Amino acid sequence: MKPKRPLDPYLFLAPTALVLGLFFFWPLALVFKNSFYRWDMLTPPEWVGTANYGQLLASGELWGTIGRTLSYSVVVVVTSLGLGLGLALALDRPGKLYAFVRGAVFSAYVVSWVAVALLWMWILDADGGLLSTLCRSIGIVPKNWLGDPAVALYTLAAVSVWKITGYSMVIFLAGLQDIPRSLHEAAALDGAGPISRFLHVTWPMLRPSASFVGTTSLILSFQAFDVVRVMTQGGPVKSTTVFVYAIYEHVFVNLRVGRASAMTVAFFVLLLGLTALQLGSWRLGRTGARRA
């Protein structure tokens, strides 16, 4: 069958394609091109082939940055998921007090990253900070939370968890409210205890919410920049230089657009790989569910 107006589908697609092309594919192509040049934005670019990628691999910078970013992300995703679920289960009750606590937990999510970072810098100050003072008052020698290379990355992860846990909680609360009460009642009549009811009723019904929270937290943790920029500037000793901050440092501090572009391409490939893994596991889960 010959369509009467063959151009119409393309015309409908055009606005989206234009926006995607202009703001996503075109910059991506430019970044890919720039990764083969040495360029400082002021002098003409010089073709260097794959030297930027070679340098990133040979110096160990790429693997170091991937390792730090993944460590940060794992802590942020796992902890915010666990805490969000726990809080949702604890606060899924009627009453003004519960509503107030739910609101208080979620409020951290709407505060800007810069404000959160400044607040936590004050709390975590090694000498006069609230946490260090509390530690000293109970006889514990406080850590240098932001100044110790072994601790700083996990301190930043903890701050991020504090900020985004409210978001996880809200998604889980929405998921919990979608579970019909009759399922819990039927399970209780069959003799299932609270743990059994959670494992066999609540958790299977919450899996889509958990998957959504996991994906969005992962994206958020991979985009970490503000908290690093304000609290540690990638230090001490590069221990908090995660991917986006490393790209920023190369282009704006070291004047190396080519190397920053190579880092960006590597970042893109890493995210593509992680997305493929996630899609794969999601499809496997759906097939398994259908078979069951």
Partner 1 sequence: MSARLGRRDALITLASSFAALAGAGCARGGKDGEASLWFAYGGTNREVLLSLVNRFNAEQSTYRIKAIYQGDYFEALAKLRTAIAARAAPALTHVVGEVVPYLAQAGALLPIDETHPVTGDVVAALGQTGCFVRGGERPIVCAPFNRSTPIAYYNRAIFDALGLRPPTTWKELESVARAATVRAKDGTVTRHGFTCPIDWWFWVALVGQAGGTVVEDDGTPSLGGEAGVRALEFWQRLVHEERTMKPPPGRDYNAWQATNTDFLAGRVAMIWTSTAFLKYLETNAKFPVGAAPLPGDVRRSVPTGGTMFVVPTASSEHERPAARAFLQWMMEPRQANEWATRTGYLPVSQKGLAELEASGYYREHPNDRVALDQLKDAFAWPWAPSLFRIQREAVQPRLEEAVLVRRDARATLDEARRAAGEP
**208 is a site residue for partner 1 (CB under 8 A):** no
Strands, E, within the chain: which ranges? 37-38, 46-47
Q: Which residue is it, tokens 């697609």? A: 13
Q: Considering beta carbons, is residue 253 or 284 the nearer one to partner 1?
A: 253
Helix 61-91 vs helix 51-58: angle between axes, to the nearest 10 degrees?
A: 70
DSSP string covering 100-118 = HHHHHHHHHHHS-HHHHHH
Binding mask 144-183 for partner 1 (x = CB under 8 A): x-xx-x----------------------------------
**234 is a site residue for partner 1 (CB under 8 A):** yes
Q: What angle do CA 14, 17, 18 make, to 5 degrees?
A: 80
Whether a cis peptide bond, with omega within 30° of 0, leads into 44 is no
Name the token pair of 43: 């002098």
Sequence-distant (6+) residues with CB within 8 A of 53 are: 35, 262, 265, 266
Least gap, CB of 231 to partner 1 (angstroms): 8
Applying CB under 8 A, the site for partner 1 has a residue count of 26
Q: Considering beta carbons, is residue 129 or 166 the nearer one to partner 1?
A: 129
**With CB under 8 A as the contact rule, which of the stretches 65-73, 172-180, 231-239, 283-291 interacts with partner 1?**
231-239
Q: Is the dihedral of CA 130, 135, 138, 139 positive or negative?
A: negative
Closest CA to 202 of 222, 237, 234, 178: 178
**With CB under 8 A as the contact rule, which of the stretches 65-73, 107-115, 168-176, 227-235 interacts with partner 1?**
227-235
**252 is a site residue for partner 1 (CB under 8 A):** yes
Least gap, CB of 11 to partner 1 (angstroms): 19
Q: Considering beta carbons, is residue 58 or 111 the nearer one to partner 1?
A: 58
Q: Is the dihedral of CA 31, 35, 36, 38 positive or negative?
A: positive
**237 is a site residue for partner 1 (CB under 8 A):** yes
**Identified binder of partner 1 from the candidate list 112, 177, 233, 287, rule CB under 8 A:** 233
Least gap, CB of 42 to partner 1 (angstroms): 4
Least gap, CB of 257 to partner 1 (angstroms): 9
**Identified binder of partner 1 from the candidate list 69, 160, 221, 232, rule CB under 8 A:** 232
Closest CA to 210 of 173, 181, 184, 183: 173
Specify which residues 37 forms β-bridges with: 47
Specify which residues 47 forms β-bridges with: 37
**Identified binder of partner 1 from the candidate list 255, 270, 271, 274, rule CB under 8 A:** 255
Specify which residues 38 forms β-bridges with: 46
Binding mask 40-69 for partner 1 (x = CB under 8 A): xxxx-----------x--------------
Specify which residues 46 forms β-bridges with: 38
Interacting residue ranges for partner 1, rule: CB under 8 A: 38, 40-43, 55, 126-128, 141, 144, 146-147, 149, 232-238, 252-256
